[in-house]
Amino acid sequence: MRLRCPVAVLVGNWPLIAQLARREIAVRYRGTIGGTLWALINPLLLLALYAFVFSTIFRMKWGVQSESKLQFAIAVQAVDQVGITVQSLRQRGAAAASRSASAQIEEPSG
């Protein structure tokens, strides 16, 4: 069995990935005021907030002289998104493990 390049796997399975992403977003934001539009607006609002707070109020820099506020905000948002993704994966993994354990307990052995 030959392993395929991860990029090739992603490209080859793109229709499935897109369908699963659309379904996840639709389920997650169903019943909210903004609906699926909130999935796009929320990160942009966070980006604007981070740009203002960290570059204007705290006057933070990455150490690059020619850095714009937009570049700084995008870098902060990228780091934040990685943290959010890791936290979400941990929570989902723990919830799945809990459901699996409770399902095994409820099944009569026999």
Name the residue ranges covered by the structural domains of the chain.
31-106
* Residues whose CB is less than 8 angstroms from the CB of residue 54 and which lie 6 or more positions away in sequence, other chains included: 60, 72, 73, 76
How far is 75 from 63, CA to CA, in rounded Å? Answer: 13
Task: Give the pLDDT of residue 46.
Answer: 81
- Per-residue model confidence as pLDDT tens digits over 17-36: 899 988 887 888 788 777 77
Token pair for 52: 């203002």
Q: Where are the alpha helices (DSSP H) in 13-68?
A: 14-28, 37-52
Task: Give the pLDDT of residue 108.
Answer: 60
For the question of whether the overall pTM of this predicted structure is more than 0.85, the answer is: no
Taking only the tens of pLDDT, the chain with its 110 residues reads 577 788 888 889 999 989 998 888 788 878 877 777 887 788 888 888 877 887 788 777 666 665 677 777 777 778 888 888 888 888 888 888 887 777 666 656 55
> Residue 52 carries which side chain, given as an amino acid letter?
F
How far is 90 from 6, CA to CA, in rounded Å? Answer: 22
Q: What is the DSSP letter of 30?
A: T
